[in-house]
Amino acid sequence: MEFSNLHKARYGYQPKLPAIFKEAVPNVVLEMGDKTRAVSDHDELSALFKHSYGKPIVRFVKGRNEKSDRVLNVGVILSGGQAPGGHNVIAGLFDGLKKGNPASRLYGFLGGPSGLIGAKYVEIDAALVELYRNTGGFDMIGSGRTKIETPEQFAASLETAKRLDLHALVIIGGDDSNTNAALLTEYFIEKGSGVQVIGCPKTIDGDLKHEHIEASFGFDTAVKTYGELIGNIARDANSAKKYWHFIKLMGRAASHIALEAALQTHPNICFISEEVEARRLSLSDVVGEICDTVIKRAENGENFGVILIPEGLVEFIPEIKALISELNEIMAKFKTEFEEIRSFQGHCAWLERKLSRPSLVLFESFPEEIARQLLLDRDPHGNVQVSRIETEKLLMHLTEKRLAGMKVSGAYNGEFAAIGHFFGYEGRSAFPSNFDADYCYSLGFSAFFLIASGLTGYISSVSNLSAPATEWVPGGVPITMLMNMEQRKGKKKPVIRKALVDLDGEPFKAFAALRSELALKTCFKYPGSIQYFGPPEICDITTISLQLEHRGAFRKAVRT
C-alpha cells in the first residue's frame, strides 16, 4: 500500500469526542426517554417486531454501570455503497471495546452481509486499525449489498454468531442495511441467542435522517468534494464565458446533495426533485425553465452557466415516472421474451405493442442513447438503474433542440454550447473531512456503549452536531422508530423511510430565496478543497444545510 504525505499526516489526527466519552467506561450510563412509535403503520410494525418495537430513545450521562467493562466479542459489517468515514466508525468501536476491556475482540465480516452468512471474517486488531484511521473507502474489510432475507440466510447468520461467540453485531449502512439490522434483531431475540444488534447511519445521499438522527455520515465529505469540483467548473465557465455546464449529482430518492451543493456554489439553476414532483412539472416544463434562464442570460451577453441536476430527477417527472413504471412492469412480466430479442431496434418494435400510447410517444422522443439506457439491466428490486441514465445529456439535447427552434423564430439570439458531467464516485471514498472523521469515530464509540449497556435494535446516534464536538450528545434511537411499510416487489415490507428534502425546511427556503438572482446574475461561489489543518472555523465547519436546520430548530423551540 502506497501512502501519500496527506495519508501519513491523517494517521496522526485524533478525532474529537463528546465530553461524556472521555469518562471511564463504568462511569457512563443510559438515560431513558419515553417509549417510541414508528413514523407510520404502527399496528403492522408492532406486530412484526413484537420483541423490539416501541423502545425508548436513550442518551449517555454520568453514572455508575458495574457491567460495562465485561469482555465482549463483537462483529462489524460494512454494508452498501462506500461513504467517507466508515473506517473511523470501526476505529471508534475498536477503541471503545478496548477501553472497556482490553480482552474484548472485534471481528470484521468480509464483503458485507455475505461475510456474516458465509462465515468469512478477519479479527480486527490494533495493527489493522492503525492502517485505516481517518481514511476513506471501505477497503479494510470490504462491503456488499447482500440482503439477509431467507430463512436459510438468517439461520446461517446466527450460526456464524454462535461460532464466534458474539455478544453483538454492528451493521454500518443505509436505510436498507439498517432495516436488515432490525430484522436480525427480532430474529436473534426470537431464537433466544442473546446477540445484540446495533446499526450506524451511513449514506452520502443524506436520506437517512430523522429528528433524532441529524446526519448520515459521509454526506459532509461528499458534498464538500462535489462543491470543490462544481466551484472549479463555475470558475472555468466564468473565465471562458462560452459553455453551459449540466452537472448531475448523486441522489436517487432525495436531493440533499444537489441542495447543499447549490448553497455552497450558487449555480444558475438547481433542480430539486421533490419540488419538481410537488409542482408536477413535465419534462417540457423543466426544459422550459432552463431555456428561460439561458435566454435571459444571453440578453445580458452571458452565454454560459452552471446547472445542477439530481441523479433521480427523471423519476420525479410525472410522465417519465409513468414510463419507467411501465417498463419495469413489462420487463419483469415478459422477462424471457424481452431477453430473447437481441437488438435495440427489435426491443423498440416489441415495446410498440406493450407500452401505452403516451409512454410510447415519450420513449420514441428520446435520443437513442437515453432510450437504450432505459432498457438496461434492472437492479435487485426490478427497478431501472437511474444512475446509468444520462439525465444531463437528455436535458442538454432537449434544451439545444428547443433553442434552435426559437432561434429560427427570432425569439432567441444567443449562443448555446453545453458540456455534461456526472459527479458520483468522486465523493464516495474521499478522505473524510474533520467533521466526518469526528462524527464517525463518535458513532463507533456510541455503538460500543449501546452494546456495553445491553441494548439491541438501536441505531447509534450523535446529536447537536452544529456545536463543537465536545458538546455533541451521543445516544441511540430504536430502529423501528424510523420505519414504515412500503410496497416492494408486490408485497408490503417494513423499511426505514427515506428522508426527502423538506420543502418547508430552512435549507430549501434559503436556496429558494436566492435562486431568482442566481438565475440572472453570475454570483458563483468557490468553496475550494476540504481543509484538514488550520483554525476550527475552516477545518471543522459543518454543511450549510446542517447549520440552517439547527437554526430553524432553535427558532421553532423559541416560538413554542
Look at phi and psi of residue 382 and say left if phi exceeds 0, alpha if psi is from -120 to 50, else beta: left
195 and 483 Cβ atoms separated by less than 8 Å: no
- Beta strands at 305-310 and 196-201: parallel, antiparallel or unpaired: unpaired
- Beta strands at 168-173 and 491-496: parallel, antiparallel or unpaired: unpaired
- Beta strands at 458-463 and 196-201: parallel, antiparallel or unpaired: parallel
Our answer to whether residue 436 is catalytic in this structure is no
Query: CA-CA distances (angstroms) from residue 205 to 210, 253, 481, 491?
Result: 14, 8, 20, 26
185 and 480 Cβ atoms separated by less than 8 Å: no
Residue type, 180: N
CA distance 530 to 523: 21
117 and 473 Cβ atoms separated by less than 8 Å: no
Q: List the beta bridge partners of residue 413.
A: none
* Dihedral sign (CA 215, 219, 224, 227): negative
- Cell numbers for 227: 462543491
Q: Which residue in the list 41, 175, 176, 205 is annotated as catalytic?
A: 205
Residue type, 418: A
195 and 166 Cβ atoms separated by less than 8 Å: yes
Residue written as grid cell 471543522: 540
- What are the catalytic residues? 205
